């Protein structure tokens, strides 16, 4: 295949990987602190609707993205309360959050289905965007894509090179020890779970404000669940997470290209590809993990912490 | 109350702590002076650790007051206690294995820069470890350190936080006798610098060798605080237990029986997939207790699991009663009479959320008479058996139908023993069977094991407590680094020092 | 400073546990009502409409019973897996696979109404759903592949497979573009009660939970499942086969969901059509959790949930509230039940921060 065909597909891969990327980065933060949020799908939908309606109301997509962050964090606060303060089962709470978010977004958005908004326009980065091929793939998108590059780099730096990042890793690994060293486990878990929810909201906001510039019920189409799977693939490292997202984006973009080009492959098979790939990647990574190559999940992931509970 | 020569560093007055409606601490007064090592002794469950957890800000007391350096202290969290200069080294270390030593040292500190500075931290740690003669490698990952090294990291971590009052919970239980001496020397250096140190312990001999003063707790209350050099050890022991100690009488062993379990060249990996057991060979004879000594984490657990059929062998063979059973399933080992008392009763040995009968059924639900037609279970029989065992093993439980988690540690251990010993096993693998039990319960467990020995079972007793091993064992085997350093055929002829050397990895002299 | 703190307490009685569940349901309804109020809907009116729609007429009541069937069965599918601490979120996909298998059987093998033909149809759908469940079970047991994600992905894949067939080879030429198969012949339909829409699936929904309850309590296998669910390490220590049991339970779980799918298409709809399952697989999760994993209570909990679903349909018509409002309430119920769960093991106690003041020392 020639470069002319591949380059646009790779550029499209970046674009369709970006919403998942925001959700994955959020979930990495949340899970690093020990709270698993399976409700990403619902949070993304809430964020998508909040972004859409705020943009529609103000005409400013930046307000839309900010609204999606706030809405995402707000709805995740239910999950944070149940998991951190009440010590509830994180799997079930996450499922409840997914259901609630899906239902809530559909209910709020029922009168806006199919309406469009003027979202964020792409803008080519000067200089970098002029590099042949690379510029087209990475630097001919919209501001939110560029922001996601910065986010990945910032998170890598934050988690592995800064003091709060060290504390974050410690809390997810051993909350009891972190508590004994004077860290407030509950406060940190709240903060990172809400930040994670906010980023998942932005992921949804990107879908509605930038990607499709309209509101459709259930428009995330399983990307929230895929994000959860990609976090496992990422072994909780932002860089690997980004790689996984662009892989997903690539399959998604390819699938859409093929549909648009009118191949003989039936549409449901094409639609199935991202899910099948996610499953395949998950199996692959788990088999490799068995061989002792990779580190595991944060050790306290999914476990509530109470200081006075005796071991 | 005696008058203090100088204002104490820490003073706790009338401290109460209630757990599940019962007093864990009741009206306890406790003083720590500057530059002293103060031992806090008592049986398991006497409330020592609870009291110190209160001082370290981990538990909040139900009543009572604490003053540090004359200042009233109310701790809402460990952070508050750290700010008052109080640091605690817990029995389970509060270290994060996947982080490096220097990262663990930095954890939770506020007055360091936003960006981590490896270089300055490493040099600071080097300085400190030299000053207190506690060598550690600042850049090593904690999971790669030995238990002794981890303890040093814990202590340095507290000192780095400007700790004035250092609390050590059972610090010697994981050390060889030599390491213990080194630790005590380092502690003296600290008290010379004006720190106050509290050592929680249940080993009286050790306490007498280091402590300036001793406070004895019993059943959540303070019995007394005394000067160590003015008190006899027997008196302390009696204060601790509330009665004169009875020594478990071991009947003289008969002639050594035939080998019931033989191991040849066992090699196995640990959970991380790294080589752990390497070439272990020994015989366990009928009617003997073979003590296994070693510092925690030297593959004793892996050995037990291999012998119980729970861990795959890389090579080697296990011969039970003349039959090679290596590679068989765990169920097969159970059927052939290998019974295993694991160290973590709550995680492995029992299902805490299930009731007593269900826990008793764990190892017999598939065989008659507990099973009916290979499909069903005879719960009537099982609960009858449970009632019998509860009686025989004097297990105190609200009812046979109550979940096991409501039982105290000692009763849980008895429940596990009841299940493991009730089928006349050939081989008993007992890992720390009295860990965390009070003296009464420990005596009971030891008596039952001796009864099994008299019946003819081969018992492998793994312990870190040399006193226990010397008291109970017919032979003592020492492990280090997954290898056998030697087997003392007549423990009474071997000194603790020699055992300690072997625990530290020096093979046995041929002469012993 | 005074604040509240959770303190462990001994186990509550059965009556207390029931009261907690009831209180959780009430709290969920109250919050749901508040949300409706915020959206300008009178909540009392809405709840009244829900109950009237679901229970107020013979048709409503029969609809409620009809919907309790799949909810009970998917609830049981989830319950079995949850009992073992395996998070099977894939009942939806397993249900779809069972329905596809049933439709395939009807299409390619003549179902002549004989017992043998029905037995084969049951077996085919149970096998299809079961294998769709056993696959993630095997992956979990063998390589510890996260079963939540794998079962969810298999949901999407199953739905895509169904679309492939419904938009392709199996499409009814007379359906005017609707993605559905032709009607099943009369001989391939499950038995129906009189002139209601109640079908033979009801028998499964009534018998299966009792069988499962008895099996979990009385058999060695049930005991193994419970021990594995409570403490997998203790199970391994007692010599139980973990992989074998995970695969088996996931197969059974999937098979029950598969039979549920079969009964929906062969009993209720009489054809395989897109959207024949309105997320029953997820409703099953809620129902299983509502019963605290007690299979005997499943039909009752399913009936409650069914009231909500049928009543939600009515709301759509009478008050123009979207069906998604039902999903919101479902989410709220799950949240509240989870929150209530905490009060079973803990009680609230008022404490002063930083320990007591000196005055209340004595």
**pLDDT, tens digit, 9 for 90 and up, residues A1-13:** 567 788 888 999 9
**Coil, strand or helix at B283:** strand
What's the pLDDT at B364?
85
Asked whether the predicted pLDDT for residue B331 surpasses 50, the reply is yes
What's the pLDDT at A157?
96
Same domain? For B180 and B47 the reply is: yes
Is B94 within 8 Å of A183 when comparing Cβ atoms?
Answer: no
- Angle at the Cα of A12 (from A10 to A13), degrees rounded to 5? 60
Asked whether the predicted pLDDT for residue A151 surpasses 60, the reply is yes
Same domain? For B460 and B383 the reply is: no
CB of A204 closer than 8 Å to CB of A51: yes
Among B242-251, B377-386, C214-223, which stretch is predicted with the lowest mean pLDDT? Answer: B242-251
Assess if residue B346 is contained within a domain.
Answer: no
What's the pLDDT at C211?
95
Is B79 within 8 Å of A183 when comparing Cβ atoms?
Answer: yes
CB of A189 closer than 8 Å to CB of A33: yes
* Interatomic CA distance for residues B277 and B269, integer angstroms: 7
What's the pLDDT at A24?
97
**Coil, strand or helix at A87:** coil
Last-in-domain residue among B241, B268, B294: B241
> C223 contacts in B (CB within 8 Å)?
358, 361, 365, 377
Same domain? For B30 and B84 the reply is: yes
Assess if residue B342 is contained within a domain.
Answer: no
- Tell whether C168 is within 8 A of chain A (Cβ): yes
Assess if residue B68 is contained within a domain.
Answer: yes
Out of B90, B103, B108, the one facing A182 most closely (by C-beta) is B108
* Interatomic CA distance for residues B82 and A181, integer angstroms: 8
Q: Which residue has the tokens 């850049």?
A: B139
Among A141-145, B429-433, C193-197, C348-352, which stretch is predicted with the lowest mean pLDDT? Answer: C348-352
Assess if residue C33 is contained within a domain.
Answer: no
Q: Which stretches in chain C have pLDDT values below 70? A: 1-12, 349-362
Best residue of A89, A180, A188 to probe chain B, by most B CBs closer than 10 Å: A180
Is A180 within 8 Å of B106 when comparing Cβ atoms?
Answer: no
What's the pLDDT at A154?
96
Is C221 within 8 Å of B375 when comparing Cβ atoms?
Answer: yes
Assess if residue B250 is contained within a domain.
Answer: no
Q: Average pLDDT, stretch A236-260? A: 90
| Residue B315: domain span | 258-337+426-512
Task: List pLDDT tens digits, range C126-179.
Answer: 999 999 999 999 999 988 888 988 999 999 999 999 999 998 888 888 877 788
Is A166 within 8 Å of B114 when comparing Cβ atoms?
Answer: no
Same domain? For B418 and B433 the reply is: no
Q: Average pLDDT, stretch A200-206? A: 96
Q: How far is B267 from chain C (nearest CA, A)?
A: 20
Residue B281 in tokens = 């060979």
What residues are paired with C346 via a beta bridge? C8
Count: domains in chain C: 1
pTM (2 decimals)?
A: 0.87
Q: Using 50, 70 and 90 to split pLDDT, how confident is the model at A205?
A: very high
* Interatomic CA distance for residues C106 and C117, integer angstroms: 9
- CATH number of the structural domain spanning residue B329: 3.40.50.300
What's the pLDDT at C361?
32
Please give the share of chain B, as a percent, with pLDDT higher than 70: 95
**Residue C293, phi then psi, degrees to nearest 5:** 60, 35
Task: List pLDDT tens digits, range B161-177.
Answer: 888 999 998 888 778 78
> A164 contacts in B (CB within 8 Å)?
114
| Residue C129: domain span | 42-320
Assess if residue B91 is contained within a domain.
Answer: yes
- CATH number of the structural domain spanning residue C80: 1.10.3470
What's the pLDDT at C343?
79
> B75 contacts in A (CB within 8 Å)?
none
Same domain? For B203 and B290 the reply is: no
Same domain? For B398 and B436 the reply is: no
Is B347 within 8 Å of C233 when comparing Cβ atoms?
Answer: yes
- Tell whether C230 is within 8 A of chain B (Cβ): yes
Q: How far is C22 from chain B (nearest CA, A)?
A: 24
What's the pLDDT at A49?
96
Is B347 within 8 Å of C220 when comparing Cβ atoms?
Answer: no
Task: List pLDDT tens digits, range A48-77.
Answer: 999 999 999 998 999 999 999 999 999 999
What's the pLDDT at A266?
85
- Tell whether A283 is within 8 A of chain C (Cβ): yes
- Tell whether A277 is within 8 A of chain C (Cβ): no
Asked whether the predicted pLDDT for residue A311 surpasses 60, the reply is no
Q: Using 50, 70 and 90 to split pLDDT, how confident is the model at B430?
A: very high
Same domain? For B287 and B357 the reply is: no
Range among A135-139, B230-234, B368-372, B424-428 with highest mean pLDDT value: B424-428
ipTM: 0.88
Name the helix (H) or strand (E) containing B282.
Answer: strand B275-285
Q: Average pLDDT, stretch B108-119? A: 85
> B107 contacts in A (CB within 8 Å)?
166-167, 170, 177-178, 181, 183
Same domain? For B430 and B418 the reply is: no
Count: domains in chain B: 3
Same domain? For B502 and B363 the reply is: no
Asked whether the predicted pLDDT for residue A308 surpasses 70, the reply is no
Assess if residue C187 is contained within a domain.
Answer: yes
Task: List pLDDT tens digits, range B1-47.
Answer: 444 456 788 999 999 988 766 788 889 999 999 999 999 988 777 88
Residue B103 in tokens = 């990262």
Same domain? For B177 and B301 the reply is: no
Residue C19's contacts (CB-CB under 8 Å, 6 or more residues apart) are: none
Asked whether the predicted pLDDT for residue A293 surpasses 60, the reply is no
Is C238 within 8 Å of B334 when comparing Cβ atoms?
Answer: yes
What's the pLDDT at C12?
62
Same domain? For B417 and B474 the reply is: no
Q: Is B380 exposed, middle or buried (0-12, 13-18, 19+ CB in 10 A)?
A: exposed
Q: Using 50, 70 and 90 to split pLDDT, how confident is the model at B153?
A: very high
Same domain? For B268 and B213 the reply is: no
* Interatomic CA distance for residues C124 and C97, integer angstroms: 10
**Coil, strand or helix at B504:** coil
Assess if residue C337 is contained within a domain.
Answer: no
SS3 content of chain A, % helix, strand, coil (to 5): 70, 0, 30
């Amino acid at each position: 295949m020639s470069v002319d065909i591949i380059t646009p597909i790779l550029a499209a891969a970046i674009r369709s990987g970006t919403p998942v990327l925001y959700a994955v980065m959020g979930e990495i933060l949340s899970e690093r602190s020990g709270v698993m949020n399976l409700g990403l799908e619902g949070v993304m939908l809430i964020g998508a609707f909040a972004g859409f309606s705020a943009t529609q109301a103000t005409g400013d997509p930046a307000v839309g993205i900010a609204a999606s962050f706030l809405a995402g964090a707000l709805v995740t606060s239910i999950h944070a309360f149940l998991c951190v303060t009440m010590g509830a089962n994180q799997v079930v709470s996450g499922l409840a959050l997914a259901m609630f978010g899906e239902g809530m977004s559909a209910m709020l958005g029922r009168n806006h289905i199919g309406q469009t908004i003027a979202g964020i326009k792409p803008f080519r980065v000067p200089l970098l965007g002029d590099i042949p091929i690379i510029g087209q793939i990475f630097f001919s998108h919209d501001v939110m894509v560029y922001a996601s590059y910065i986010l990945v780099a910032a998170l890598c730096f934050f988690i592995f090179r800064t003091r709060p990042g060290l504390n974050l890793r410690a809390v997810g690994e051993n909350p009891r020890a972190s508590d004994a060293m004077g860290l407030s486990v509950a406060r940190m878990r709240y903060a990172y779970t809400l930040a994670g929810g906010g980023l998942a909201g932005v992921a949804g906001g990107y879908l509605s404000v930038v990607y499709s510039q309209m509101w459709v019920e259930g428009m995330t189409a399983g990307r929230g669940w895929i994000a959860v799977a990609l976090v496992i693939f990422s072994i909780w490292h932002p860089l690997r997470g980004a790689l996984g997202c662009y892989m997903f984006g690539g399959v998604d973009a390819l699938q859409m290209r093929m549909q648009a080009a009118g191949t003989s492959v039936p549409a449901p098979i094409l639609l199935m590809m991202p899910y099948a790939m996610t499953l395949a990647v998950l199996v692959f990574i788990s088999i490799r993990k068995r061989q002792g190559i990779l580190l595991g999940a944060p050790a306290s992931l999914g476990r509530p912490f109470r200081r006075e509970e005796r071991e | 109350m005696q008058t203090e020569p100088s204002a104490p560093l820490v003073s706790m007055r009338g401290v109460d702590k209630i757990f599940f409606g019962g007093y864990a601490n009741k009206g306890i007064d406790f003083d720590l002076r500057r530059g002293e090592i103060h031992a806090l002794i008592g049986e398991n469950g006497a409330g020592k650790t609870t009291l110190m957890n209160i001082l370290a800000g981990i538990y909040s007391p139900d009543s009572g007051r604490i003053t540090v350096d004359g200042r009233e202290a109310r701790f809402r969290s460990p952070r508050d206690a750290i700010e008052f200069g109080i640091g605690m080294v817990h029995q389970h270390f509060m270290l994060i294995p996947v982080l490096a030593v220097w990262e663990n040292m930095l954890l939770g500190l506020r007055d360091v820069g936003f960006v981590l500075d490896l270089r300055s931290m490493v040099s600071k740690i080097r300085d400190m470890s030299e000053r207190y003669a506690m060598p550690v490698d600042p850049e090593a990952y904690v999971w790669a350190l030995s238990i002794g090294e981890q303890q040093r990291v814990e202590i340095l971590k507290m000192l780095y936080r400007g700790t004035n009052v250092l609390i050590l919970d059972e610090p010697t239980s994981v050390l060889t006798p030599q390491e213990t001496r080194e630790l005590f020397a380092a502690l003296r250096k600290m008290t010379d610098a004006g720190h106050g140190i509290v050592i929680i312990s249940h080993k009286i001999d050790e306490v007498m060798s280091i402590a300036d003063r001793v406070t004895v707790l019993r059943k959540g209350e303070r019995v007394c605080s005394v000067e160590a050099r003015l008190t006899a050890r027997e008196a302390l022991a009696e204060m601790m237990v509330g009665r004169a100690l009875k020594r478990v009488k071991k009947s003289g062993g008969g002639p050594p029986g035939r080998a019931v379990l033989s191991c040849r060249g066992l090699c196995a990996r640990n959970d991380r997939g790294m080589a752990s057991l390497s070439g272990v060979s020994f015989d366990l004879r009928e009617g003997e207790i073979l003590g296994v000594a070693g510092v925690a984490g030297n593959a004793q657990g892996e050995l037990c699991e291999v012998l119980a059929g729970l861990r795959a062998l890389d090579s080697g063979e296990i011969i039970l009663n003349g039959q090679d059973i290596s590679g068989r399933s765990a169920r097969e080992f159970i059927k052939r009479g290998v019974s295993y008392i694991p160290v973590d009763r709550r995680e492995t040995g029992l299902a805490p959320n299930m009731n007593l009968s269900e826990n008793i059924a764990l190892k017999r639900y598939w065989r008659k008479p507990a099973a009916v037609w290979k499909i069903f279970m005879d719960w009537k029989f099982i609960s009858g058996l449970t009632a019998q065992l509860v009686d025989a093993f004097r297990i105190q439980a609200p009812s046979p139908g109550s979940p096991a988690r409501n039982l105290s540690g000692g009763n849980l251990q008895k429940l596990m023993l009841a299940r493991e010993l009730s089928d006349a096993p050939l081989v008993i693998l007992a890992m720390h069977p009295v860990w965390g039990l009070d003296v009464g319960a420990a005596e009971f467990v030891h008596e039952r094991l001796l009864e099994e020995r008299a019946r003819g079972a081969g018992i492998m007793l793994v312990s870190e407590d040399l006193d226990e091993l010397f008291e109970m064992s017919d032979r003592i085997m020492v492990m280090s680094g997954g290898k056998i350093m030697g087997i003392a055929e007549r423990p009474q002829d071997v000194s603790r020092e020699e055992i300690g050397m072997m625990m530290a990895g020096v093979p046995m002299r041929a002469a012993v | 400073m005074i604040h509240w703190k959770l303190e462990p307490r001994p186990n509550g009685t059965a009556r207390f546990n029931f009261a907690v569940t009831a209180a959780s349901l009430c709290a969920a309804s109250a919050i749901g009502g508040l949300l409706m109020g915020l959206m300008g809907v009178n909540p009392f009116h809405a709840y009244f409409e829900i109950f009237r729609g679901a229970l107020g007429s013979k048709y409503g009541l029969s609809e409620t019973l009809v919907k309790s069937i799949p909810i009970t069965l998917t609830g049981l599918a989830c319950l079995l897996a949850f009992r073992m601490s395996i998070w099977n979120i894939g009942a939806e996909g397993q249900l779809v696979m069972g329905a596809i298998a049933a439709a395939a059987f009807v299409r390619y093998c003549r179902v002549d109404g004989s017992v043998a033909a029905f037995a084969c149809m049951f077996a085919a759908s149970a096998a299809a759903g079961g294998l769709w469940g056993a696959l993630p079970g095997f992956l979990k047991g063998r390589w510890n592949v996260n079963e939540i994600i794998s079962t969810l992905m298999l949901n999407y894949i199953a739905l895509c497979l169904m679309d492939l067939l419904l938009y392709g080879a199996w499409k009814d030429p007379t359906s005017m573009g609707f993605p559905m198969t032709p009607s099943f012949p009369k001989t391939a339909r499950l038995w129906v009660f009189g002139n209601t829409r109640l079908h033979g699936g009801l028998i499964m929904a009534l018998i299966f939970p009792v069988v499962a309850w008895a099996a979990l309590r009385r058999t060695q296998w049930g005991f193994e499942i419970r021990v594995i669910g409570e403490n997998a390490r203790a199970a391994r220590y007692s010599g139980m086969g973990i992989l074998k049991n995970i695969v088996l339970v996931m197969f059974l779980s999937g098979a029950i969901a598969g039979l549920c799918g079969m009964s929906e298409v062969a009993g209720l709809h009489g054809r395989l059509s897109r959207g024949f399952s309105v997320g029953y697989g997820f409703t099953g999760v809620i129902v299983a959790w509502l019963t605290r994993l007690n299979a005997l209570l499943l039909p009752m909990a399913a009936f409650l949930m069914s009231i909500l679903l049928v009543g939600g349909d009515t709301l759509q018509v009478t008050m123009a509230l979207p069906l998604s409002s039902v999903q919101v309430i479902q989410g709220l119920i799950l949240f509240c039940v989870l929150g209530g769960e905490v009060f079973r093991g803990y009680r609230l106690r008022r404490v002063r921060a930083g320990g007591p003041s000196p005055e209340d020392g004595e």
